[in-house]
Amino acid sequence: MDYPLTLQHFLERAGRLFPDKEIVTRAPAGIHRYRYRDYYRRTHRLARGLEKLGVQHGDRVGTLVWNTHQHLELYFSITCYGAVLHTLNLRLSTDDLAYIINHAEDRVIFVDRSLVPLLAKIRGRLSSVRQFVVIENGAAADHEFNALDYEQLLAAVPDEPYAWPRLDENCAAGICYTSGTTGHPKGVVYSHRALFVHSMAFAMADTFALSERDTLLQVVPMFHANGWGTPFAAIMTGSKIVLPGEHPQPRDFAQLIQDERVTIMGGVPTIWIGLDSVFQEEQFDVSSLRLAIGAGSALPRKLIEKYQKEHGIELCQLWGMTETTPVGTVSKLKQDLACRPEEDCFRTRAKQGLPVVCVDLRAVDDQGLEVPWDGTTMGEVQVRGPWITSGYYNDSRSDSAFMDGWFRTGDVATIDPEGYVQLVDRAKDVIKSGGEWISSVDLENAIMGHPKVLEAAVVAIEHPKWGERPLAIVVPKPQFQDRVTREEILAYLEPRFAKWWLPDEVLFVDAIPKTSVGKFDKKVMRARYKQFPGTEASGAERA
């Protein structure tokens, strides 16, 4: 049967089968609630608004918006209309923001009132944008900005179902840009088919089992890799959806988990570290939370154990990237492995996990040969599948991103005999000392297991003898400021690593630089500490 896999099916199913399900937004004026029936009508109405604005099939429409119900309306009205949803990263520099808007040739931009000043700085540099639409969301109009009003746009069109066009499942539905850690951000285009199949995978029992019975807290910014795809999957399944709105903090998440009986949520490790601190200081009922998903960087094993033992919450690793939509692997225990001793189970759960259905994965060496699944041989991770990118949008860097039809991720990993992937490092972050490799990820995870440490990053510092040596950058827990020493950290690491793996220096800081999506920004740290004193004079002797 000719049945194109488009997002229109998800929206129409949700409106017909789950009209009473809630969509909740934390807003400046308080909690905003409405139901799927309201969401469905407004999304159809917004499509008429896009038509009124002259948006054509294939036009890119930008959204510079927090995680709100209006952003969720834009997610489906733009894509089902046949235009391309371009979520703009509100944490990018103004130069990068201007670049991606011009590179994508956005025709219309929807912007949250609180973010108007950010867009106003670059408005004169935006060559393709014909119209701006401002979403108030209770924020004060503190900046002059000539634009249409979102609610007025909706009010100016009939409140009637919109006749969706028949779309090819392979046509573009969305575009996201990488965070630009090296060079300009790169655009990744997602087809309707890719988002459709990815959403179904998210609902599988051996991934996250998202269902109509769940309440999703959308912590992941909706500008980051489509919010990890969960907004699409949640509408598909009919889940209750909770959106944290503007500038959410860990305590806001804890309050929403308790008040809305959240069952599933995802976030980068810094989110889970921050939430743990809140749980230590205040009492919140988080018994409803069945699954916490961590990605963006490796979850420390001690954090996984802590959530399980102290909070009764399964903290599950996901590995992926903007180019993989983003789900690539999920760390779920096979049935026979779950029966093994607790120590073995946590060791396996701390890996990035098994490739999900529809994702083929391999690791290759410098000669392009696949390395054995022995758990020790390292290679670059390469993937292929129906939601893996086929190239960057209008970008010559696509040529070097593939090998024999496989996407080159730039991640270095081992794969064990059971098929579990364990990231060793990013290719550009792995430390080469005296011709031997040192994993910054392994050192970071170990340091973050120290009871006095909140966060830790490890970067390579140039060394005249060994080429590179590791520098540990550590944030102590607040109660241990000035009460943890370099010697303590090194003594904690000594039983776990060869002597030559140990950092030459340990630097204690108040905060670690992070990227726009919450990852440790090692590019900034390498530049900042390039001439860090002590590294040239020291250097662990090899044992």
Q: What's the CA gap between 232 and 10, in Å, rounded?
A: 8
The DSSP result for 123-158, as a single string, is GGG-SS--EEEEE-TT----S----EEHHHHHHTS-
Record the pTM. Answer: 0.85
- The half-sphere exposure of 263 on its side-chain side, counting CA atoms within 13 A, is 12
Cα–Cα–Cα angle for 379, 525, 98, nearest 5°?
90
> Is 234 in a helix, a strand, or coil?
helix
Q: Confirm if 267 and 293 have CB atoms less than 8 A apart.
A: yes
Tell me if residue 178 is catalytic.
yes
Strand pairing partners for 308? none
437: annotated active-site residue: yes
Mean pLDDT by 10 residues, the chain (543 residues): 96 98 96 98 98 98 98 98 97 91 98 94 95 81 76 96 98 90 84 98 97 98 95 98 96 98 95 94 96 91 95 96 95 96 96 97 94 95 97 93 94 96 83 78 91 93 82 94 92 88 93 83 85 50 36
The 10 Å CB-count burial string (b at 16+, else e) for 304-324 is bbbbbeebebebbbbbbbbbb
What are the chain's domains? 1-160+168-247 (3.40.50.12780), 429-528 (3.30.300.30)
User: Residue 140's pLDDT is what?
Assistant: 52
Q: Is 432 a catalytic residue?
A: yes
Is 332 a catalytic site residue? no
Residue 81 CB partners (closer than 8 Å, separation 6+) = 47, 50, 51, 55, 162, 164, 165
Residue among 432, 465, 499, 530 flagged as catalytic = 432
* Peptide linkage before 533 cis (omega within 30 of 0): no
Catalytic annotation, pick one of 25, 43, 63, 178: 178
Task: Extract the tokens encoding 258.
Answer: 């308790």
Check if the beta carbon of residue 415 is closer than 8 Å to that of residue 375: yes
Long-range interactions of 276-280: CB distance < 8 A, separation 24+:
276/303, 276/306, 276/307, 276/311, 277/250, 277/454, 277/477, 278/250, 278/251, 278/253, 278/254, 279/254, 279/310, 279/311
Q: Tell me, what's the pLDDT at 533?
A: 61
CA 490 to chain centre: 32
pLDDT at residue 515, rounded to an integer: 81
pLDDT value of position 514: 86
Of the candidates 437, 465, 485, 499, the residue annotated as catalytic is 437
Candidates 246, 305, 323, 380; catalytic one: 323
Q: DSSP letter string over 412-453?
A: EEEE-TT--EEEEEETTT-EEETTEEE-HHHHHHHHTTSTTE
